[in-house]
Amino acid sequence: MNATSEARAPLLEVTGLAVSFATESALISAVTDVSFKVGDGEIVSIVGESGSGKTAALLGILRLTDRRNTKIEGSVTFRGRRLLDLPEREMRRIRGREIGFISQNPMTALTPVHTIGWQIEEQIRVHLNLAHAVARRRATELLDEVGLPNPAKALDLYPHQLSGGMRQRAVIAMALSCNPSLLVADEPTTALDVTVQAQVLELLRRLRLNFGLSIILVTHDLGVVDEMADRVLVMYAGRVVERAPADLIFEDPWHPYTWGLLASIPPLHGERPARLAAIPGTPPVPTDLPKGCHFAPRCRFRFAPCAETPPRQEDGEHAALCFIDPSGRPRLRAQVLNPSSGQAA
């Protein structure tokens, strides 16, 4: 599945991305030092809890924040172009045409006063400059592609006439309307029921397979990550605390926060633990970040050095921001993930 070709430049390369928002009193840093690459046909997943900066990072990459009070630093290279340096005019041609966007709530992307067909056609006409009839035919094909029953008829429906799953599919159709090479999906299935989520995830996988679509998938659900992602970024309080190929996130996680996330999910099979290994406390607010390692106040393994910014430990594609020495890692991890026994999962 992993279609990374080392020879060519990646489709998207983000280096040292930082997003901060100006408030009346201070400049609040929402995202610091986020770096990752997305190759052709690759699915990169960003995991994190609310406030971890995953959406802010996406908005920064797409430059969808309000320019007057946000500062975006670092570099974002998409197909050889540096997005952060482009004039807004050109950026507008990339968004929607070369990079598709799906938000968590499909209703934020759909206007209630026009039909689904009108909204998809508008995008095609604006970006690709096609005639009305051609755009309409293309819209019908798209709705068919995303699995809406009776697409020709669905074109004339208004958003309120569709179910949640159907709306999300219409939004996906819209995001795909100009054959983008990258799809950015922010919690695309969080608002959906599990059986509908399964349908939408299946659709995204099929699009990747058939069209080599690259996807940045933001989610808080590690189950979705395991099912979809080739590579994973785990974010906490604005920083990427761990970055690894998906297999390693589940089989050899390095960061105590990743361990905590994995351990706090109740299992669906096998023995039921008496207690869940919850992470104590709550995530910090961006206005009041702890010094040094942001996770330290909730980390059961914190020690004196954690008051300083943790170093990046790296081994190939696997990296984590943590002071824990690799030699001690398996023992500490077992305390979180297999508290009762030394048995490996």
Partner 1 sequence: MSADSVPAPLVEAERLTKRYVVGRTIMPGSGRALYAVDGVSLTVRPMETLGLVGESGCGKSTLGCCLTRLYDINGGTLRFEGVDITKSSRRELRPFRRRMQMIFQDPSASLNPRRRIGDLIAEPLHVHAIRPRADIPARLRELMDLVGLPAVYLERYPHEFSGGQRQRIGIARALAMEPSLIVADEPVSALDVSVQAQIVNLFTELRERLSLTYIFIAHDLAVVRHVSTRTAVMYLGSIVETGPTDLVFERPAHPYTEALLSAIPVPRARGSGPRERIILRGDLPSPLDPPPGCKFSTRCPIVVERCRSERPQLRPLADGRSVACHFPREESQDLSAQLHASDGKMLVED
**Positions in the binding site for partner 1 (CB under 8 A):** 49-50, 149, 163-166, 193-199, 201-202, 220-227, 250-251, 260-270, 272-280, 282-283, 298, 337, 345
For tokens 């406030």, the residue is 51
Give residue 150's region: left, alpha or beta (phi > 0; psi -120 to 50): left
- Pick between residue 14 and residue 44 the one whose CB is nearest to partner 1: 44
- Minimum Å distance from CB 288 to partner 1? 12
- Minimum Å distance from CB 147 to partner 1? 9
- Pick between residue 130 and residue 334 the one whose CB is nearest to partner 1: 334
- Minimum Å distance from CB 17 to partner 1? 23
- Pick between residue 273 and residue 311 the one whose CB is nearest to partner 1: 273
Residues 6+ apart with CB under 8 A from 133: none
- Minimum Å distance from CB 302 to partner 1? 16
- Minimum Å distance from CB 253 to partner 1? 8
- Pick between residue 137 and residue 220 the one whose CB is nearest to partner 1: 220
- Minimum Å distance from CB 300 to partner 1? 13
- Pick between residue 47 and residue 213 the one whose CB is nearest to partner 1: 47
- Pick between residue 212 and residue 267 the one whose CB is nearest to partner 1: 267
